[in-house]
């Protein structure tokens, strides 16, 4: 993603995990073209990163990677500006020097958790190898021969952008047919030069209109939204929905062990807040939890029985995943609690737990470090039209929005102990509470 100095300064002040301009993700495997040399950043004609493949005046060159038909291939990256992940596609063209007229067919889609399943950025190194790697299949029924593989990425956090790196390959084997290749879905193309044809709302992972038969879903299910694209958008026409397994990206995080509930009248209360298109939640001591969701913010309370505890980790880029969301990694299901009471399904309002029986008692409380943005007067609907470009909106003194690519971002909370001056302006005045104000101009 492209950051100006004002954004970088603001990000540092708000404790964002923000990477600089030179830390963007680049394709490492398969080995990309040596010419054009990959530049950091999304496709942008004015910056010399034209569609497709950042093509420039120098043409294409580079050694091809051999890939047998029917094989599984590694997808790996360099850099740490992961922008909260997002969704990716792997596509193939039989043009060895692709142009704007080239045909691209999707062979694999990753919906959520690509290029990494993280809250924001991993750091600011442009040369660090990403620990998150993926696999994609080469269809066994398409023609052999020289071709070009493209990796495309719709980032979750930041400006609405479209990243594309390409690699020369040679498909080896026999028996494939052009008709099998032609039957594959077209590659989705959007968010180039400020044209958001598919309403890729910031803070969400994206389900492609036609992802093809080979699909991985790695992000939380409650963060996925179905893209709706304008007529004529390449790859924007809906296709049949395949059966999709949920598989973890590497490295996978082990799920937390379930706490053992107490017998009898033990109880715990917790509350939590979240923002973005995901769910905010918090756990109290025991199994109590509460969820709230909405297109921008949510809150809720919940109750449960037992002793235990935990905090939801805070973060500005995205809400922490719901404690009620099943982990995506394939693990053995934990044993169900033997408590006679079952916590009510959270609905944003406290739900009374079923009465328990037995002996023993316990109590506790929990809290969430997630911070929900204000939704009072002045808050703008995320994704709604705005102008001028770069306009700031301070919401209630505790959250802010930015007008980028013609639409409002989601409301993002300020760091604890800081505040802004409410209202819209060309600059955002942010200060530590009780200290002087720092202004950031568009």
pLDDT at 21: 46
- Asked if the bond preceding 36 is cis, omega within 30° of 0, the reply is yes
Could you give the CA distance from residue 8 to residue 181 in angstroms, rounded to a whole number?
44
Phi first, then psi: give them for residue 178, nearest 5 degrees.
-65, -35
Could you give the CA distance from residue 51 to residue 42 in angstroms, rounded to a whole number?
10
Nearest by Cα to 261 from 195, 322, 343, 179 = 343
pLDDT at 405: 66
- Per 3-state DSSP, the chain is made up of helix, strand and coil in percentages (nearest 5) of 5, 35, 60
pLDDT at 117: 81
Beta strands in 240-315, from DSSP E residues, in sequence order:
267-276, 279-283, 289-293, 296-304
Contact 307, 266 (CB under 8 A): yes
- 100 CA to centre of own chain: 28
Helix (H) or strand (E) holding 427: strand 427-432
Helix (H) or strand (E) holding 12: helix 5-13
pLDDT at 196: 83
Give the residue extent of every domain in the chain.
5-226, 255-371, 392-441
- Give the architecture (CATH level 2) of 5-226: Distorted Sandwich (2.70)
The pLDDT tens digits of the residues spanning 210-254 come to: 999 999 998 888 899 999 999 889 998 886 545 444 444 444 343
DSSP string, 104-138: -EEEEEEESS-S--SSS-S-S-SSPBPS-BEEEEP
Token pair for 340: 């006679």
Could you give the CA distance from residue 255 to residue 190 in angstroms, rounded to a whole number?
35
Could you give the CA distance from residue 314 to residue 335 in angstroms, rounded to a whole number?
29
pLDDT at 343: 40
Q: How far is CA 424 from CA 106, 164, 327, 384, 401, in A?
A: 42, 34, 40, 15, 9
Could you give the CA distance from residue 333 to residue 255 in angstroms, rounded to a whole number?
10
The structure tokens 């067919």 sit at: 105
Contact 130, 80 (CB under 8 A): yes
Q: Would you give the DSSP letter of residue 22?
A: G
Using 50 as the pLDDT threshold, list the residues of the chain that sit under it: 1-22, 241, 243-374, 435, 437-438, 440-442
pLDDT at 353: 40
Contact 261, 286 (CB under 8 A): yes
Is the pTM higher than 0.75?
Answer: no
- Asked if the bond preceding 8 is cis, omega within 30° of 0, the reply is no
Question: What is the length of the chain?
Answer: 442
Could you give the CA distance from residue 246 to residue 252 in angstroms, rounded to a whole number?
12
């Amino acid at each position: 993603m492209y950051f100006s100095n004002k954004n970088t300064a603001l990000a540092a002040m708000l404790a964002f995990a923000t990477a600089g301009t030179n830390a963007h993700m680049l394709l490492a495997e398969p080995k990309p073209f040596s010419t054009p040399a990959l530049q950091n950043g999304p496709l942008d004609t004015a910056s010399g990163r034209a569609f497709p493949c950042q093509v420039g005046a120098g043409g294409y060159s580079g050694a091809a990677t051999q890939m047998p038909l029917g094989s599984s291939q590694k997808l790996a990256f360099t850099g740490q500006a992961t922008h909260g992940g997002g969704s990716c596609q792997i596509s193939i063209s039989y043009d060895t020097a692709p142009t704007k007229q080239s045909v691209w067919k999707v062979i694999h889609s990753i919906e959520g958790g690509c290029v990494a399943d993280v809250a924001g950025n991993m750091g600011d190194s442009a040369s660090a190898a990403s620990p998150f790697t993926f696999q994609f299949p080469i269809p066994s029924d398409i023609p052999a021969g020289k071709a070009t593989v493209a990796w495309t990425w719709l980032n979750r956090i930041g400006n609405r952008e479209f990243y594309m790196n390409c690699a020369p390959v040679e498909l080896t084997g026999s028996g494939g047919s052009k008709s099998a290749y032609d039957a594959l879905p077209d590659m989705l193309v959007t968010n180039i030069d400020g044209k958001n044809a598919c309403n890729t709302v910031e803070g969400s992972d994206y389900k492609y209109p036609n992802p093809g038969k080979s699909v991985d879903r790695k992000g939380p299910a409650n963060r996925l939204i179905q893209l709706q694209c304008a007529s004529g958008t390449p790859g924007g026409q809906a296709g049949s929905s395949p059966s999709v397994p949920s598989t973890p990206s590497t490295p996978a995080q082990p799920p937390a062990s379930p706490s053992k509930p107490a017998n009898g009248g033990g109880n715990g209360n917790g509350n939590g807040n979240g923002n973005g298109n995901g769910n905010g939640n918090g756990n109290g001591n025991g199994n109590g939890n509460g969820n709230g969701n909405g297109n921008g913010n949510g809150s809720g309370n919940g109750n449960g029985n037992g002793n235990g505890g935990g905090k939801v980790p805070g973060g500005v880029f995205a809400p922490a995943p719901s404690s009620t969301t099943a982990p995506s990694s394939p693990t053995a299901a934990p044993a169900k609690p033997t408590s006679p009471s079952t916590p009510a399904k959270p609905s944003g309002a406290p739900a009374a737990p079923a009465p328990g029986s037995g002996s023993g008692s316990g109590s506790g409380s929990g809290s969430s470090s997630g911070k929900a943005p204000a939704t009072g007067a002045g808050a703008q609907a995320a994704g709604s039209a705005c102008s001028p470009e770069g306009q700031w909106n301070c919401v209630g003194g505790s959250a802010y929005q930015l007008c980028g690519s013609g639409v409002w971002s989601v409301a993002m909370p300020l760091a604890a102990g800081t505040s802004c001056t409410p209202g819209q302006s060309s600059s955002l005045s942010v200060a530590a509470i009780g200290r002087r104000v720092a202004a950031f101009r568009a």
